[in-house]
Amino acid sequence: MAVIKNQNNQQKGVALVVVLLVVALVSIIATDLTGRLQREIRRSANIFDHQQAQYYALGAEKFAIAIIQDDLKDSPDRDDLDQAWATKGLYFPVEGGDLTGVITDVNRCFNLNSLVAKQDDDFYIADKESVAYQSYQRLLDLLGFSTGLVEPLVDWLDSDSQPIGMDGAEDREYEILSPAYRAANNLIVDVSELRLVQGYSDDIVKKLSPYVCALPEDGYFQLNINTIDVDKPELLSMLIKDLSVQSAATLLAERAQSGYDDLASFWQLSALAGIEIEGKVKSVIQLNSDYYQLQAKARIGRGHEGLTTLFKQVDKEKVNIIWRRFGTLE
């Protein structure tokens, strides 16, 4: 009898251990599931916040179009830094976060794509005598770079595969690199593309970038005299070759916040007296802008979204979106 009782006790002990094991296993599984659920909830919340931030950024884009359109209605023939669109540091507190944005016109910089122009046969070619080509050469010189840097860039843009000069670079120069690539032979989409062009080191691109832009139009070279940055007189000196950087700096520093009322007032300035300026050079200077760029940033909870949009005004009434790019802004 004693043996049977002992066996019963042992079986009860084994059953208890099994039950404890099962309880432990269930606890582990439950803890894991809770952890997973919490991570899923957090992930969903992050996605929701991010989507909301994206929609707020798109809202900023609509708001920017409205502001630019209002300005077009009020003053179709001029854009200056005193107008509503040029207001700096717009900040909007929104539910769960905030929205910031800034609009700049993109006629205050040199359009790199103006170095080439499309011919009848859909070919991009460069004209060394064009105002754009010569202005860019002077800009390079004024910033302390070799004027030869114009050539690899022109080759990057033009449709043919013949180097334009001694410093030019076409497929042959890029195909021997590792990794190898080919010249775009097309307009550039972003200034950062310069890094791929022969001779354009990081330092050069960094110093050049504030002065240049990449607009989606070949042969398009227009500067708004009312919006050129005061600290970039080189942009005026590159265009008007007999105007020194120092005189251009004084001229820009003396410009009223509301800019010039008409082009005649600008060309009559004493700083420009006695300087002979060709008509094709004069035609680059405008009082209004065609292109604008919005940089917006939305923060909702843990979601952040940056948006850059390029607009173009058409027929002085419509504002078209040329491209938009989502991504974190600096």
The stretch near Ca ion (CB under 5 A) out of 54-62, 121-129, 134-142, 184-192 is 184-192
Least distance between Ca ion and beta carbon 123 (Å) = 10
Contact 223, 286 (CB under 8 A): yes
Distance, CA of 241 to CA of 226 (rounded, Å): 20
- Shortest spacing between CB 160 and Ca ion, in angstroms: 5
Pick the piece of the chain touching Ca ion (CB under 5 A) from 62-70, 85-93, 175-183, 287-295.
Answer: 175-183
According to CB under 5 A, which residues from 25 to 54 bind Ca ion?
A: none
Task: List the one residue out of 227, 228, 247 whose CA is nearest residue 237.
Answer: 247
Report, in Å, the least distance between residue 120 CB and Ca ion: 18
Q: Which is nearer to Ca ion, 177 or 321 (CB)?
A: 177
Query: In angstroms, rounded to a whole number, what is the distance separating the alpha carbons of residues 202 and 200?
Result: 7
Q: Which is nearer to Ca ion, 68 or 183 (CB)?
A: 183
3-state secondary structure of 128: coil
Contact call for residues 230 and 253 (beta carbons, < 8 A): yes
The number of beta carbons lying within 10 Å of the beta carbon of residue 263 is 14
Cβ proximity to Ca ion: between 214 and 307 the closer is: 214
Q: Does 305 bind Ca ion (CB under 5 A)?
A: no
Query: Looking at 100, 130, 185, 293, which residue binds Ca ion (CB under 5 A)?
Result: 185
What is the per-residue burial (b if ≥16 Cβ within 10 Å, else e) of 156-181?
A: bbbeeeebbeebbbbeebbeeeeeee
Task: Tell me if 296 sits within 8 A of 61, measured CB to CB.
Answer: yes
Q: Give the footprint of Ca ion on residues 108-167 (CB under 5 A).
A: 155, 158
Q: How far is the CB of 121 from Ca ion (least distance, A)?
A: 15
What single string gives the DSSP state of each residue in 6-35? HHHHHHHHHHHHHHHHHHHHHHHHHHHHHH
Residue placing its CB nearer to Ca ion in the complex, 168 or 306: 168
Task: Output the smallest distance, CB 133 to Ca ion, in A.
Answer: 15
Q: Judge contact between 191 and 209, C-beta under 8 A.
A: yes
Supply the minimum distance, in Å, between the C-beta of residue 179 and Ca ion.
19
Q: Which stretch binds Ca ion (CB under 5 A): 46-54, 185-193, 202-210, 238-246?
A: 185-193
**How many residues in the shown chain lie near Ca ion by CB under 5 A?**
4
- Indicate the residue among 177 and 230 with the shorter CB distance to Ca ion: 177
Residues that bind Ca ion (CB under 5 A): 155, 158, 183, 185
